[in-house]
């Protein structure tokens, strides 16, 4: 991956009437990376993507691709490929015509067109579908055709707007792998919008997490998972939940006591704070003490969810009543209502400011 | 097929029978009577169905130059009316489709002509177009145009009738086509914009194919109603001047209730039915193909 910025958003804004959809965002996307815009619905991620494509007018700011300001260009002149959530195939054209429509409009020669169609249909394994209409295709096949349509033009970047969310779970996993492979093979920049954190975690070179039109954090999947910079990111990048709790702090000399967990933490950042958010991921709890440095916590079991590959157990901290989730990958004979000790490493505790909700 | 499903089928027919009976009574019986009547010498003066004349009525109708005239008047009337209403209606629908504000208000305004009885439309326009007292001649007077005898001149009267019918019925086209346009999803247009299609290509490659079933059904309905146009002629021209606006429905009415020759009128009705079927059959076939 080339770390030169390839597509750049400068102070990009979008307002619909009075509503702010995208709020002054700055973003650099590198060449050939798989960049994922992640966030809950209505966070502005799709609007951002559509502004890059030129489907949405820009209220203010700039979109720069390959050092050229393309903010005012027509979608067709930006040479970006766009894949829609519901495929947006032309229903009355067969697959061949769907794929070659943009070439036909550019008056590409017949031989060239056939060559491109051949290349795309081999790449996406849709050769046997070329004469069918979109209505005769399954969801997965339609998505392949939609990808094929975007491929033939040799675009500078691929913009994908939740392309997998209309597919069933099994197919989604397959298409995920194919998209990763495709991106590697083509060595092109992909900008991928999704609300599904698993898609983001599995596919992205970098993830950009958005909420309410603002960028909260940009980083590799590992970074955003292990070092979320805010309560929102910590809560959002979690499958299926993360523990976000509050605790009072008692200060003694240089050590600080998190009352809720009843442990001492020697972190500078806790000085002058009396109340913080903290988070420990459910998978960082153990039912046995693995080493002598582990802290323990007494909890009462509320509920046990069997996820097949592991168990998600919800419990309450004794004398505190805050809910805490933990995961066990083996079946343990736990009984609802039982009080047990669970163990964790104090290094796994992340702390957030109580007001700004930012990591400290 | 086992016994239970056979019983269920019979029970199903039993439940459907009242509806079928009503259909037979109000549609099939009158049509059959008309067809039978068309083979008899049946007038309002001699009302016994005792003189079977075979195809005599049909031959005399086909050999009647007045019928032939009204046949061609009807054909040209239908072609002009449906074509102009469609083109004008489609154009207005496309323009209105871009207007998202005040949609309820203009829908209501569009509905007004359709809510007016055709007889009333005829009366209103007859007053507007009156050579001496009408507002139309008064207004064009300001432009220095001398009064026009809108309904008195054969050529002008034909055009006038077409104009009034367009005024009355174009809303129907607009409303149906507008509903069709509003139901086209936005994404194919966006995909086409990215693929590089200009507005005209988008219209050809997305709007028209999406609209095909709506266009066909709209044309079909308007075509059938246009062939049957009667009230407007009865109020405004009585088929005149001469026979310039003598539409076939009005001609049938005259031969039945003025010439009192019901047998002949019945044979003309049957011919009209056949003509309508011949026109709409290919459209129906085309529509079914479009649905696949």
A16 touching B, CB under 8 A? Answer: no
pLDDT tens sequence across B161-218 = 999 999 998 999 999 999 999 899 988 999 999 988 888 999 999 999 999 889 988 9
Mark yes or no for CB contact A102/B206 under 8 Å.
no
Please tell me the predicted confidence (pLDDT) of residue A310. 86
Measuring CA to CA, which residue among A60, A95, A102, A97 is closest to residue A79?
A102
Mark yes or no for CB contact A76/B195 under 8 Å.
yes
Please tell me the predicted confidence (pLDDT) of residue A170. 87
Please tell me the predicted confidence (pLDDT) of residue B34. 87
Give the three-state DSSP class for B289.
helix
Burial class (CB in 10 A: 0-12, 13-18, 19+), B269: buried
Strand-strand pairing, A68-69 and A60-65 = antiparallel
CA A8 remoteness from chain centre: 19
A105: closest CA of chain B, how far (Å): 7
Residue A148 with chain B: CB contacts under 8 Å: none
From the candidates A101, A134, A159, which should be mutated to test the interface with B, based on the most B CB atoms within 10 A? A101
DSSP state of B62: H
A284: closest CA of chain B, how far (Å): 44
Mark yes or no for CB contact B191/A90 under 8 Å.
yes
Give B4's pLDDT tier (boundaries 50, 70, 90).
low
Whether the CB-CB separation of B56 and B266 falls below 8 Å is answered with: no
User: Has residue A8 got a pLDDT over 50?
Assistant: yes
Mark yes or no for CB contact B191/A75 under 8 Å.
no
Residue range B53-58: average pLDDT?
A: 82
> What CATH number is associated with residue B77?
1.10.3720.10
Length of chain B: 292
Q: Point out the residue among A76, A89, A92 whose CB comes nearest to the CB of B194.
A: A76
Q: Are residues B51 and B182 in the same domain?
A: yes
Q: Where are the beta strands (DSSP E) in chain A?
A: 2-16, 19-31, 34-38, 60-65, 68-69, 80-83, 157-161, 189-194, 206-211, 214-219, 243-252, 255-258, 263-265, 275-280, 295-306, 311-317, 323-328, 339-344, 350-353
Residue range A22-45: average pLDDT?
A: 90
A104 touching B, CB under 8 A? Answer: no
Q: Point out the residue among B188, B193, B194 whose CB comes nearest to the CB of A90.
A: B188
Q: Point out the residue among A53, A91, A105 whose CB comes nearest to the CB of B196.
A: A105
pLDDT tens sequence across A210-265 = 999 899 999 999 999 999 999 999 999 988 889 999 888 888 877 788 888 888 88
Q: In sequence order, what are the residues at sequence separation of 6 or more whose Cβ sits closer than 8 angstroms to the Cβ of residue B9?
A: none
Q: Are residues B17 and B59 in the same domain?
A: no
Burial class (CB in 10 A: 0-12, 13-18, 19+), B44: exposed
The 10 Å Cβ neighbour count of residue A269 is: 13
Q: Are residues B25 and B156 in the same domain?
A: no
Radius of gyration of chain A (CA): 25
From the candidates B189, B196, B206, which should be mutated to test the interface with A, based on the most A CB atoms within 10 A? B196
Whether the CB-CB separation of B70 and B243 falls below 8 Å is answered with: yes
Residue A95 CA to residue A131 CA, distance in Å, equals 6
* Half-sphere CA count of A165, side-chain side, radius 13 A: 15
Strand-strand pairing, A34-38 and A68-69 = unpaired
A55 touching B, CB under 8 A? Answer: yes
Q: Where are the beta strands (DSSP E) in A39-76?
A: 60-65, 68-69
A76 touching B, CB under 8 A? Answer: yes
A134: closest CA of chain B, how far (Å): 12
The 10 Å Cβ neighbour count of residue A319 is: 9
Q: Are residues B118 and B23 in the same domain?
A: no
Q: Are residues B12 and B100 in the same domain?
A: no
Q: Are residues B42 and B135 in the same domain?
A: yes
Extract the tokens encoding A63: 């979109």
Sign of CA dihedral A182, A186, A187, A192: negative
Give B292's pLDDT tier (boundaries 50, 70, 90).
very low
pLDDT tens sequence across B232-259 = 888 888 877 878 888 888 888 888 888 8
Mark yes or no for CB contact B209/A91 under 8 Å.
yes
Residue B246 CA to residue B237 CA, distance in Å, equals 9
Please tell me the predicted confidence (pLDDT) of residue B284. 79
Extract the tokens encoding B154: 């054969």
Q: SS3 letters for A10-36?
A: EEEEEEECCEEEEEEEEEEEEECCEEE
pLDDT tens sequence across B60-98 = 888 888 888 888 889 899 999 999 999 999 999 999 888
From the candidates A17, A84, A86, which should be mutated to test the interface with B, based on the most B CB atoms within 10 A? A84
Q: Are residues B268 and B250 in the same domain?
A: yes
Residue-range domains of chain A with CATH: 2-236 (3.40.50.300), 243-353 (2.40.50.140)
Q: Are residues B59 and B21 in the same domain?
A: no
Q: Point out the residue among B188, B201, B206 whose CB comes nearest to the CB of A105.
A: B201
Range with lowest mean pLDDT among A271-280, B132-141, B180-189: B132-141
Number of domains in chain B: 2
Q: Point out the residue among A82, A87, A90 whose CB comes nearest to the CB of B194.
A: A82
A135: closest CA of chain B, how far (Å): 9
DSSP for A94-137, written as a single string? -HHHHHHHHHHHTT--HHHHHHHHHHHHHHTT-GGGTTS-GGGS
Residues of B with CB under 8 A from a CB of A: 185, 187-188, 190-197, 201, 205-206, 209-210
Range with lowest mean pLDDT among A61-65, A197-201, A276-280, B142-146: B142-146
Domain span including residue B22: 1-31
A166: closest CA of chain B, how far (Å): 15
Q: In sequence order, what are the residues at sequence separation of 6 or more whose Cβ sits closer than 8 angstroms to the Cβ of residue A263?
A: A257, A295, A346
Q: Are residues B144 and B14 in the same domain?
A: no
Whether the CB-CB separation of A275 and A343 falls below 8 Å is answered with: no
Residue A297 CA to residue A299 CA, distance in Å, equals 6
User: Has residue A107 got a pLDDT over 60?
Assistant: yes
Strand-strand pairing, A295-306 and A275-280 = unpaired
Q: Are residues B222 and B90 in the same domain?
A: yes
User: Has residue B138 got a pLDDT over 80?
Assistant: yes
Q: Are residues B7 and B138 in the same domain?
A: no
Q: Point out the residue among A75, A89, A106 whose CB comes nearest to the CB of B193.
A: A75
Does the ipTM surpass 0.90?
A: no
Cα dist from B287 to A69, A159, B174, B212, whole Å: 48, 37, 20, 8
Extract the tokens encoding B58: 């049909």
Residue range A340-355: average pLDDT?
A: 89
Extract the tokens encoding B47: 């009302």
Residue A262 CA to residue A168 CA, distance in Å, equals 45
DSSP for B163-209, written as a single string? HHHHHHHHHHHHHHHHHHHHTS-SHHHHHHHHHT--HHHHIIIIIHH
Residue range A304-333: average pLDDT?
A: 86
Q: Are residues B8 and B122 in the same domain?
A: no
Give the three-state DSSP class for A82.
strand
Give A193's pLDDT tier (boundaries 50, 70, 90).
very high
């Amino acid at each position: 991956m080339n770390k030169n910025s390839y597509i750049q958003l400068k102070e990009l804004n979008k307002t619909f009437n009075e509503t702010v959809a995208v709020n002054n965002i700055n973003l650099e996307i590198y060449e050939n990376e798989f960049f994922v815009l992640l966030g809950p619905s209505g966070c502005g991620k799709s609007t951002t993507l559509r502004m890059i494509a030129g489907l949405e007018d820009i209220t203010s700011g700039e979109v720069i691709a390959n050092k050229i300001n393309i903010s005012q260009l027509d979608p067709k002149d930006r040479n970006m490929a766009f894949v829609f959530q519901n495929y947006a195939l032309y229903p009355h054209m067969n697959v061949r015509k769907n794929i070659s429509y943009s070439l036909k409009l550019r008056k590409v020669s017949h031989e060239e067109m056939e060559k491109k169609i051949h290349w795309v249909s081999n790449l996406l394994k849709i050769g046997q579908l070329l004469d069918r209409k979109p209505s005769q295709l399954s969801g997965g096949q339609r998505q392949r055709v939609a990808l094929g349509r975007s491929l033939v033009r040799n675009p500078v970047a691929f913009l994908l707007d939740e392309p997998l969310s209309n597919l069933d779970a099994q197919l989604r996993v397959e298409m995920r792998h194919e998209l990763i492979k495709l991106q590697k093979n083509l060595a092109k920049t992909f900008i991928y919008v999704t609300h599904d954190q698993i898609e983001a975690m599995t596919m992205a070179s970098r993830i950009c997490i958005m909420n309410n039109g603002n960028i909260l954090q940009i980083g590799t999947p590992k970074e955003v998972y292990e070092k979320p910079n805010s309560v929102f990111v910590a809560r959002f990048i979690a499958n299926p939940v993360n523990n976000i709790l509050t605790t009072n702090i008692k200060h003694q000399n240089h050590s600080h006591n998190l009352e809720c967990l009843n442990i001492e933490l020697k972190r500078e950042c806790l000085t002058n704070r009396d109340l913080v958010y903290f988070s420990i991921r459910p998978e960082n709890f153990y039912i046995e003490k693995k080493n002598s440095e582990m802290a323990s916590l007494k909890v009462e079991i509320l509920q046990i969810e069997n996820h097949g590959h592991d168990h998600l157990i919800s419990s309450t901290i004794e004398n505190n009543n805050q809910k805490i989730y933990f995961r066990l990958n083996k079946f343990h004979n736990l009984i609802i209502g039982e009080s047990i000790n669970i163990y964790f490493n104090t290094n796994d505790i992340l702390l957030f400011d109580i007001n700004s909700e930012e990591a400290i | 097929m086992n016994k239970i499903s056979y019983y269920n089928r019979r029970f199903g027919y039993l439940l459907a029978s009242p509806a079928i009976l009503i259909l037979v009574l109000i549609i099939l019986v009158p049509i059959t009577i008309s067809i039978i009547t068309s083979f008899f010498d049946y007038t309002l003066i001699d009302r016994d169905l005792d003189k079977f004349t075979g195809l005599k009525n049909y031959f005399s109708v086909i050999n009647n130059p007045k019928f032939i005239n009204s046949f061609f008047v009807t054909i040209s009337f239908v072609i002009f009316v449906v074509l102009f209403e469609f083109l004008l209606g489609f154009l207005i629908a496309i323009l209105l489709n871009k207007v998202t504000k005040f949609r309820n208000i203009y829908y209501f305004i569009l509905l007004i002509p359709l809510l007016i009885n055709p007889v009333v439309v005829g009366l209103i326009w007859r007053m507007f177009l009156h050579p001496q007292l009408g507002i139309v001649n008064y207004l064009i007077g300001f432009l220095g145009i001398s009064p026009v005898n809108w309904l008195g001149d054969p050529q002008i009267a034909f055009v006038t009738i077409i104009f009034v019918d367009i005024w009355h019925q174009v809303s129907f086209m607009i409303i149906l086509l507008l509903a069709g346009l509003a139901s086209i999803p936005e994404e194919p247009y966006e995909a086409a914009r990215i693929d590089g299609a200009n507005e005209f290509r988008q219209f050809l490659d997305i709007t028209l194919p999406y609209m095909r079933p709506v266009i066909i059904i709209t044309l079909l309905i308007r075509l059938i109603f246009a062939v049957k146009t009667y009230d407007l002629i009865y109020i405004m021209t009585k088929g005149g001047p001469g026979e310039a606006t003598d539409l076939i429905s009005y001609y049938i009415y005259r031969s039945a209730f003025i010439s009192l020759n019901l047998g002949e009128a019945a044979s003309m009705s049957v011919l009209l039915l056949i003509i309508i079927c011949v026109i709409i059959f290919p459209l129906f076939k085309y529509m079914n193909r479009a649905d696949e």
